[in-house]
Amino acid sequence: MMIALRLQLLLVLLLGGADGAWNQRQIRKKIHQLRRTENFKSFYSRLGFPNGAPSYVPPIEGLLTQPLDHFNRRNNDTYRQRYWINEEFWKRPDGPVFLFIGGESAESEFSVLAGEHVELAQKHRALLVALEHRYYGASINQDGLTLEAIRFLSSQQALADLASFHLFISQKYNLTQKNTWICFGGSYPGSLSAWFRLKFPHLVYAAVASSAPVRAELDFTDYNKVVAESLSDPVIGGSTKCLDRVKESFRIVDSMLHPGNVSILEKDFSSCSPLRAPEDYVEFVNNLADIFMGAVQYNMESPGSDVRKICEHMVNAESAYEGLKIVNSMYMDFIGLTCVENSHEKSVSDLRDTKINPVGVGERQWYYQTCTEFGYYQTCEQSSCPFSPLNTLKTQLDLCKEIFQIPPESVRQSVQFTNEFYGADHPKSSRIIFVNGDVDPWHALSVLKNQSRSEIAIFINGTAHCANMGPSRTSDPPSLQKAREEIASKISEWLRSAETTE
């Protein structure tokens, strides 16, 4: 599977796209863990640890009973949805409410403890609340992943959950029209943030949508086009030479994918199992591509996602093929792997598994959402893609059929409907900030130009996925610092305008 967008770590915001390969899942998992650690550190440094006195009120964690199907009140099934509340900064009773929206992974208490939205909440004395997405993390019934039960997983149900959470919080704290709500999200939840404002303007006054792929796309060929551009972008340590070497290495690998040579590939790239069926060949080349895709999408977020370093290896190695071997083993060290799983059968059985995993990214759930709403298949059939053309739309759509019995035509129609329903990359709304980084491949599906005076696009030079969502750091590049200032100043302006227009 592809590396999805995502990272909600603290925001673990990871978006995954989808290519179905195993490495993508490993990368997402790792980034998820790292983000947690990062949030942790930032949170404790805010408290002044290890020297300062830890005088903080722990966040409230709770479970809200929600209808499983908001759109059929005769179905009385329910599930319990996890939320967090941080009252630490709140100016009672009229202070604003900042809502952090969860996405395709488990959330944690850090969703109300660290990150850009927490810094803004401190400044504006806001009540911080966060809601985990249905079917992810702990917000799922025990049988939730069966084919029968997963039907009620959708962005539309998720938005209805947010409306019902708004009611719950309003009642709990006796909120009124004077409490101005602003929502935040990054990656898929970035889209939800924009859509919550779009569809429920009476509930939320403004939204920040970071790295939000609001335009659904069946065949997301532009993802790898941006990856190619980033690999040749000198601003982040790429070069034309690097891109050429990557292309060459994949040509060589492709030429070796026949029974006479595969055993060399298995050995050189530490495959856990022999490459048997043609499906394993696809899995194998996708796994190799995932390393580059992950490095670009999460550039500089972790020691393993570093375009500069990867390009140095590719360029300095004796040959393109040797470079690819080095990059692969560097990746394995980073994740802590002794071999790479290239079995297509294994990949499919992982996605078929209905066992609930309360931590990390919900891979089965997310693939289901790609099949029923978004597509986002990160294919490689166009010449702009530097990796193997074995990664076709067909191989990815086949998974929808294989895993969820959803035929390709239905996926196609669902993607079209999603764009019709939400307005794709021209949503007609107001008071939304769309923030993107030009290195992040997902920016290709987001809003990059101002749509109106209050639907604003901020496009950051040199940053990757959801860079603005983490806590501010002194190491932030000037372009990111400037973006943070613009976001903060818009929020201040909107909060002032909410007060005067009451």
Ligand X SMILES: *[C@@H]1O[C@H](CO)[C@@H](O)[C@H](O)[C@H]1NC(C)=O
Q: Collapse the DSSP code of 339 into the 3-class scheme (helix H, G, I; strand E, B; otherwise coil) and give the result.
A: coil
- Shortest approach of ligand X to residue 257 CB, angstroms? 10
Question: Which residue from 122, 316, 450, 489 is in contact with ligand X, where contact means CB under 6 A?
Answer: 450
CB 126 within 8 A of CB 97: yes
Question: Which residue from 235, 354, 485, 496 is in contact with ligand X, where contact means CB under 6 A?
Answer: 235
Binding mask 189-228 for ligand X (x = CB under 6 A): ----------------------------------------
- Shortest approach of ligand X to residue 248 CB, angstroms? 13
Binding mask 242-281 for ligand X (x = CB under 6 A): --------------x---xx--x-----------------
Amino acid making up residue 90: W
Known catalytic residues are 187, 440, 465
Name which of 323 and 375 has its Cβ closer to ligand X. Answer: 323
Non-local (6+) Cβ contacts of 23 within 8 A are 286, 287, 288, 290, 291, 294, 331, 340
Of 415, 406, 397, 376, nearest to 147 by C-alpha is: 406
- Shortest approach of ligand X to residue 481 CB, angstroms? 13
- Shortest approach of ligand X to residue 77 CB, angstroms? 8
Name which of 269 and 366 has its Cβ closer to ligand X. Answer: 269
- Shortest approach of ligand X to residue 150 CB, angstroms? 21
CB 18 within 8 A of CB 376: yes
Question: Which residue from 462, 480, 484, 495 is in contact with ligand X, where contact means CB under 6 A?
Answer: 462
**Interface with ligand X includes 76 (CB under 6 A)?**
yes
Question: Which residue from 51, 55, 174, 501 is in contact with ligand X, where contact means CB under 6 A?
Answer: 174
- CA 476, 477, 483, 486 dihedral sign is positive
**Interface with ligand X includes 78 (CB under 6 A)?**
no
**Interface with ligand X includes 336 (CB under 6 A)?**
no
Q: How many residues sit in the footprint of ligand X (CB under 6 A)?
A: 12
Binding mask 119-138 for ligand X (x = CB under 6 A): --------------------
- Shortest approach of ligand X to residue 490 CB, angstroms? 7
CB 442 within 8 A of CB 223: yes
Q: Collapse the DSSP code of 489 into the 3-class scheme (helix H, G, I; strand E, B; otherwise coil) and give the result.
A: helix
Binding mask 79-118 for ligand X (x = CB under 6 A): ----------------------------------------
- Shortest approach of ligand X to residue 328 CB, angstroms? 16
Give the interface segment with ligand X, choosing from 112-120, 311-319, 357-365, 456-464 (CB under 6 A): 456-464
Give the residues across from 457 on adjacent strands: 434
Residue 60 CB burial class (10 angstroms; 0-12, 13-18, ≥19): middle
Give the residues across from 16 on adjacent strands: 4
CB 40 within 8 A of CB 110: yes
**Interface with ligand X includes 173 (CB under 6 A)?**
yes
**Interface with ligand X includes 40 (CB under 6 A)?**
no
**Interface with ligand X includes 456 (CB under 6 A)?**
yes
Residue with tokens 């009973």: 65
**Interface with ligand X includes 72 (CB under 6 A)?**
no
CB 112 within 8 A of CB 194: no
Cα Rg, the chain, nearest whole Å: 22
Q: Collapse the DSSP code of 98 into the 3-class scheme (helix H, G, I; strand E, B; otherwise coil) and give the result.
A: strand
Q: Per residue in 323-350, is it b (16+ CB within 10 Å) or e — as a string?
A: bbbbbbebbbebeebeebbbbbeebbeb
List of residues contacting ligand X (CB under 6 A): 76, 173-174, 235, 256, 260-261, 264, 450, 456, 461-462
